[in-house]
Amino acid sequence: MATAAPVASPPRKWIHIPRPLQKLFDTFPLLAYDGNALPARAQSATFGDLPTLYVFSTEEAALLGAPSFNPSCLKWQTFLKLAGVKFQILPSTNHASPTGALPFILPKRSSPTDAPSPIPSSKFHEYALKFGTSSPPEVPALRLDAYQTLLDVPIRNAWLQALYRDPEYTDLLDRLYISPASSSFWVRGALRHQLRRAAESEILKTGPGGTASTALTLLVDEQAVYRAAVNALEALATLLSESNTGWFFGAETPTLFDASVFAYTHLMIKYMSDGKSERQGEEGSIFAERRLGNIVRRAGSGELGGHHRRLFELLWPVDSSTVFLTDKA
């Protein structure tokens, strides 16, 4: 009987029920029909043969499997694709995540009503190795940790500063994170304020420009943030120029580190470039224009731009690439 499991009543554990009564109990319910169908809204979310990757995205982009607009979602989306994991994408919000942050994977269901437990992004690496078709190479740990911090601190801070705190990108912020959440002016305002304060405290926590914040510091030193990002991107470009395979640390095929770099370079190039990107401005204006995409393209002698293009074309084949690469406002 379908309902036998959940209805086990607690008294039965400590009151011994005589056998005939037990038998009588077991005859209930007298009649069991098939289950109720799920609501309309749930259906696209609950059926499918593939595991679902929950990321920040839009409905249309998710259908096409386009890159997410959130750096850490894009990093893992890229890595899972590199590892040859098959998955479908569902646009979502941080509220849906068991850890409070996207992305996470919900494995496919074995039966229509079982609830698979979600896999947080910290376990994605193992997941990819287990279910992927190709395993991206591991790179030697030497220097990797140090370069990873360049992404985690200065480059991330610059992304946060540009997207959340720069008035020029208010529209972009609204389009990506605010408008999908609610159509209400007030809710949007509150969310925007919350996001901005959160971004600000994130930047301050790791210090202005990646240096330790001491005390009472409430102000972000924007110039230092951008300068640190420029230096970090230069350093990455230098690192890449040493590799003769075109991927970081001389790996044969792209690694997780390539995916991490790509996550930022792709978003910066896609959302924060302008047409005259190749113009080499004078030294001071690199901070003035705050176009992170241009800074990425210009870093070193263009290695990062090339790396981005190679990886993008590898994962998102040419026919669709123009759609995903340019930001349609």
d(CA 325, CA 34): 48
The distance of closest approach from Cβ of residue 57 to another protein in the complex, given in angstroms and rounded to an integer, is: 11
Interface pattern 22-61 for another protein (x via CB under 8 A)? ---x--xxxxxxxxxxxxxxx-xxx-----x-x----xx-
CA distances from 315 to 79, 81, 84 (A): 10, 7, 10
Angle, vertex CA 59, rays to CA 58 and CA 60, nearest 5? 95
Q: CA 120, 87, 265, 171 torsion: positive or negative?
A: negative
The length of the chain, given as a count of residues:
329
Look at phi and psi of residue 141 and say left if phi exceeds 0, alpha if psi is from -120 to 50, else beta.
alpha
Residues in 100-129 at the binding interface with another protein, rule: CB under 8 A: 106, 109, 113-115, 117-118
Residues in 71-100 at the binding interface with another protein, rule: CB under 8 A: 90, 92-93, 95-98
The distance of closest approach from Cβ of residue 136 to another protein in the complex, given in angstroms and rounded to an integer, is: 21
If binding is defined by CB under 8 A, does position 167 make contact with another protein? yes
CA distances from 82 to 1, 21, 41, 132, 259 (A): 45, 60, 32, 9, 8
CA distances from 162 to 69, 194, 247, 297, 326 (A): 14, 16, 27, 17, 18
> Using CB under 8 A, which of the segments 125-133, 185-193, 250-258, 310-318 binds another protein?
185-193
Residues in 232-271 at the binding interface with another protein, rule: CB under 8 A: 232, 234-236, 238-239, 241-242
Residues 6+ apart with CB under 8 A from 181: 93, 187, 188, 191
If binding is defined by CB under 8 A, does position 315 make contact with another protein? no
Decide whether 136 or 210 has the Cβ nearer to another protein: 210
If binding is defined by CB under 8 A, does position 325 make contact with another protein? no
The distance of closest approach from Cβ of residue 159 to another protein in the complex, given in angstroms and rounded to an integer, is: 14
Q: Which residue, 157, 298, 314, is CA-closest to 234?
A: 298
Q: What is the DSSP letter of 68?
A: P
> Using CB under 8 A, which of the segments 121-129, 230-238, 244-252, 304-312 binds another protein?
230-238
The distance of closest approach from Cβ of residue 15 to another protein in the complex, given in angstroms and rounded to an integer, is: 9
Interface pattern 268-297 for another protein (x via CB under 8 A)? ----------------xx-xx-x-------
d(CA 57, CA 280): 33
The distance of closest approach from Cβ of residue 117 to another protein in the complex, given in angstroms and rounded to an integer, is: 6
Residues in 141-160 at the binding interface with another protein, rule: CB under 8 A: 142-143, 145-147, 149-150, 152-154
